[in-house]
Every structure is written in C-alpha cells, then in structure tokens.
Structure 1
Amino acid sequence: MIKYKAFSDAELVALLKENDRFAFNEIYRRYWRIMYLYARKLLFDHKDAEDVVQEVLAYIWTKREEIRITTSLRSYLYGSVRNMVLNMANRKKVIERYLVFFGDFIDKGDFVTDDYIRERELTLAIQAAVVSLPPRMRQIFELSRNEYMSQKNIAEKLNLSDKTVKKQISNALKLLRIKVLR
C-alpha cells in the first residue's frame, strides 16, 4: 500500500489530477482542520466555517482535472477559504437587503394595496355619481373639473350667468358628497 503521508503537496496535487481518491483523502486529512480554524477565525461561526471548508474541498474534488495551483497547496487553500468567506458574506448582505426590502414591502405594501383599492372604489363611486347628475349640472361640473375651465369661461361658453354656473357647481358638489359618502 502506498503511504500518501510521505508525499509532498505537489505530488498529491499531481495524483489528484489523475483522479486519485487517496490523494484527495490525504489533502483532506492534512488541511481540513487548518482550513476550518482559519474559516472559524474569519466567520466566528462553527457551522458556517464547516460549510466553507466543505465547499472548498468539494470544489477541489469536482474541478480536480482543471485546477491550476501556481502557489503552494497551503496558500491555494487559504486563498480559497478566504474567497469563499467573502462570497458567503456578500450573499448574506444581499439576503439581508432583500429581507429588509421585503419587510418594508410587507409593512407598507398592504397599505399601498388597500389605498389603491380604496382609491379605485372612490373613483368609480364619483364617476357613477357624476353620471347620475342632471344633464346641465353634469355638463357644467365636467367643464369645471375635467377641462379645468373657470366659472367665467363656462358661463360664456354656455350663455349663462356666473352666479348660475357657481350655483350649479355648488349643487353638484353637494349631491356628489351625499351620493359618494352613503
């Protein structure tokens, strides 16, 4: 039986690239604890540190044929752990931002939706009430509110007195309040 403990890191990496599971097991045995302590120092969390080390080792195994280690294996593993910790921190920040956003949305979203529904219902009630006004009163009200015409301009357009237009608008508003607020 080959004694993998005697192999150098470079030899283990070369064997790993040739799909040697025992070489991977030796790298695992040799570096798991060191990588875990480093990850734990960076993360302050036992489970997250274990997850980072497992992800790094799983990556090394799955990419074993393509992996290019230009430094020492130890440096490569430290760098991989550091990068994985940074990726994890970035993912957590993104998740936290989404949670804050969705929390705000949930807190405010119900009200926005309720407000929107109430606004639509009120608009429909007002439109129905306007349609039910007497024809001349409705015409004057719509010129005032929809076309933004002044009372004087409405009076000139319809050959009415300013007081008649003012009274019609006032009466229309009273009727609309009664019909809408019922």
Structure 2
Amino acid sequence: MDLLKLGDEAAYAEIYDRYWAILYRYARKILLNEDESEDVVQDIFVMLWSKSRELDIRVSLSSFLNASIRNRILKHFQRSKVRTNYLNSLQQFMEEGKCITDHLVRERELAARIEAELAYLPAKMREVFELSRKAHLSYREISEKLAISELTVKKQVSNATKTLKMRLADTFSLFFTIF
C-alpha cells in the first residue's frame, strides 16, 4: 500500500492480479451477471488507483476491498431499482399518457366545434342556452334575469339542444366511435 500511495504502477498491478478474481467471484455470486460483476470490480480498481494517494486504510487491504465491493454492489442495486422504477413509470406513461393526450386533444376539438355551432344559434337562444348550461342557472333564474317566461326559457333551451344535436350528430358519432 505504501508503494501504491507513491503511484507505483507495479504495486497496483500486483494488487490487481491478487484480488481481481476474488472480488469478481464475490460480485458474480451476488449479481448473477458477468458483465455487471466485471463493471463493479473494475469500478473498485479505478477508485483504488485514482484515490490511492488520499486513501488512509486502517484495516487490511483485503477487508477494505471486500467492503468496497459490497458497498459498490449495494449502490448498483439501488441504481438498478431506480432505473427499473423509472422505466416502468415511463412505460406506464407511454401506455396511458398517449390516451390521455388523445382524449384531451379530442375533447378540445369537440369543445371548439360545439362553440362554433353555438355561434350559429340565434342570439337570444344562444344567450338562454349558455346561461342554462355554462352559468348553470335554473329556468326561473334565467327568466327573471332576461325578463321572459319560464316556458320561453324551457322552449329556447330545448330548441338549442335539438339544433346542436342535429348539427353535431356526425361529430358525436365519430367521437364516441373512437372511444
């Protein structure tokens, strides 16, 4: 370790040769994957070389490397879990999000179409209909507000509804066929 702290490559090579196989077997036994095990062991040796001058190991090198590999494996599991959760979340969003986006787009298109058709209604009929459906006023409240009879309000709302149903029939059939 003293030679390694001085940057001696031969000392590093000796440590590498002595411990690589032991650490790899340990990692392989836990990870059950050759590539991941090699990566984890390689990370340990990269860390050992890059931080060799700063390391202050107070236990045996073997104990230090075993603890390092164990911690690196735990970190690997944690990252894998986060990655898996992210991928599952992304997959779920792709499956559900597409539908949500499609529904929102179609809903906006339908609302725009309804608004366009509302614009073609006679002004008084449109006003009565919008007070009923958008402002959620009762027939009595509308009749009082516009100084017309409740029967007129009821008839205007009924006529507006029939007109809109007729004009939007093709849109509604297409809309409900899609869903």
Q: Same fold (TM over 0.5)?
A: yes
Q: Which of 87, 92, 95 is the aligned partner of 1:104?
A: 92
Deviations 1:32-54 (A, max 9, x none): 11111111121122221111111
1:53 corresponds to which letter in structure 2?
A: V
Q: Please list, as runs of the form range in 1=range in 2, the aligned pairs for 1:8-157 lying within 5 A after superposition.
A: 13-157=1-145
Q: What is the match of residue 7 of structure 1?
A: none
Deviation of 1:25 (Å):
0.4
Matched residues in 2 for 1:60 and 1:45: separation? 23
Deviation of 1:30 (Å):
0.9
2:41 corresponds to which letter in structure 1?
A: V
TM norm structure 2: 0.91
Q: What is the match of residue 4 of structure 1?
A: none
Aligned structure 1 segments of 4 or more residues deviating by more than 6 angstroms: none
Matched residues in 1 for 2:111 and 2:13: separation? 72
Q: What is the match of residue 174 of structure 1?
A: 162
Deviations 1:139-164 (A, max 9, x none): 10111122211001111222211111
Deviations 1:65-116 (A, max 9, x none): 1122121100000011001101111111111101111111111111111101
Deviation of 1:136 (Å):
0.6
Unaligned runs of at least 5 residues, structure 1: 1-12
Q: Determine if contact 1:122/1:180 at 8 Å carries over to the other structure.
A: no
TM norm structure 1: 0.90
The question of 1:164 aligning with 2:152 is answered: yes
Matched residues in 2 for 1:17 and 1:177: separation? 84
Matched residues in 2 for 1:154 and 1:93: separation? 60
Matched residues in 1 for 2:167 and 2:48: separation? 74
RMSD in angstroms over aligned alpha carbons?
1.0
Deviation of 1:138 (Å):
0.7
